């Protein structure tokens, strides 16, 4: 195990109180928390807020999954508050490993990118709560309180996504897609580049990228080739770009009608 300075893992020790050893010592914090996130500023912000609550104690921090699993075993936290999207390893695997090795630990997952896939993966791995990083500190407090009591907590956005997923189960594959997403799918199936799709649909390249991500998430696909195959299976008209000098046109192909 590397030093805490290199890996970002940190153990926190409580400074002795002037009243230590006296009979009227306050009860120890009821929630011992391990913070896991690769962003230092996030850990510092949460540590400052959490330690301002008399019933919580931040016993350690980790900046990666490996250290988180190690500290979960040595520090014996009551609850782990962890990001699920890391640059090098996936936090979902960390949740699964911690719950396998230390079943009594409660885990609340955090993410900046909520989707039905990430929600399902986190809950199946063993998380008892799921929060959006853009949420309020009051919501974090509510999540901690509920999870410690043995309940499952989903933030409002996660609950909305889950509810929509149940509604969509009885619908056809194309029905879960918005009209704009279907338009983007036609263009992707035709091999158009993002900038050509943006030009054709009169939207920004960033919006095209968002549509592409939504398509893969809603259809549970991981490759552009799979999107193309899906469009063909559904009988969608593929749209491809045609270069003519400095102008870009589009060509429709397949069995569908021109949009």
Q: What pTM was estimated for this model as a whole? A: 0.58
Is residue 191 within 8 A of residue 197, CB to CB? The reply is no
What was the pLDDT predicted at 259?
40
What was the pLDDT predicted at 81?
95
Exposure of 120 in the CB half-sphere (CA atoms within 13 A): 11
pLDDT along the chain (259 residues), means of 10: 46 50 54 92 91 90 92 95 76 91 94 83 91 88 91 89 71 78 87 88 91 87 82 71 42 40
What was the pLDDT predicted at 252?
40
Which pair of structure tokens corresponds to residue 123?
Answer: 């809950």
Query: How far from 246 is each of 32, 55, 218, 243, 252, CA to CA, in Å?
Result: 63, 66, 35, 7, 20
- Per DSSP (E only), the strands in the chain are 10-11, 31-36, 56-62, 79-83, 106-111, 129-132, 153-154, 238-244, 247-253
- Least Cα distance to 129 among 57, 161, 81 occurs for 81
Count helices and strands (H / E) in the chain.
11, 9
At a CB cut-off of 8 Å and minimum separation 6, what does 113 contact?
Answer: 85
Query: How far from 108 is each of 43, 51, 132, CA to CA, in Å?
Result: 14, 17, 11
Is residue 205 within 8 A of residue 193, CB to CB? The reply is no
All domains of the chain in start order, with CATH? 4-164 (3.40.50.2300), 173-253 (1.10.10.10)
Exposure of 163 in the CB half-sphere (CA atoms within 13 A): 7
Which pair of structure tokens corresponds to residue 198?
Answer: 């943006």
What was the pLDDT predicted at 10?
62
Is residue 209 within 8 A of residue 218, CB to CB? The reply is no
Q: Which contiguous run of DSSP H or E holds residue 191?
A: none
Residue entry with tokens 């807020």 = 49
């Amino acid at each position: 195990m590397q030093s805490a300075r290199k890996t970002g893992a940190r153990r926190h020790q409580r400074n002795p109180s002037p009243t230590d050893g006296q009979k009227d010592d306050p009860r120890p914090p009821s929630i011992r928390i391990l913070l896991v996130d690769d962003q230092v500023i996030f850990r510092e912000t949460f540590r400052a807020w959490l330690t301002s609550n008399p019933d919580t104690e931040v016993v350690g921090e980790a900046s990666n999954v490996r250290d988180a699993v190690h500290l979960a075993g040595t520090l014996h936290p009551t609850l782990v508050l962890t990001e699920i999207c890391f640059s090098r390893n996936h936090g979902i695997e960390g949740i699964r490993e911690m719950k396998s090795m230390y079943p009594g630990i409660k885990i609340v997952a955090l993410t900046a990118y909520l989707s039905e896939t990430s929600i399902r993966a986190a809950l199946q791995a063993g998380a008892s709560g799921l929060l959006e990083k853009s949420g309020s500190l009051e919501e974090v407090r509510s999540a901690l309180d509920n999870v410690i009591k043995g309940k499952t907590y989903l933030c409002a956005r996660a609950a909305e996504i889950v509810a929509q997923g149940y509604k969509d189960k009885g619908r056809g594959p194309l029905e879960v897609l918005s009209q704009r997403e279907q338009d983007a799918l036609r263009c992707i199936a035709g091999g158009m580049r993002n900038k050509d799709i943006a030009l054709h649909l009169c939207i920004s390249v960033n919006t095209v990228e968002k549509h592409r991500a939504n398509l893969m998430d809603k259809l549970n696909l991981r490759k552009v080739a799979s999107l193309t195959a899906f469009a063909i299976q559904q009988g969608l008209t593929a749209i491809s770009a045609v270069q003519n000098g400095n102008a870009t046109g589009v060509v429709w192909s397949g069995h569908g009608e021109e949009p």
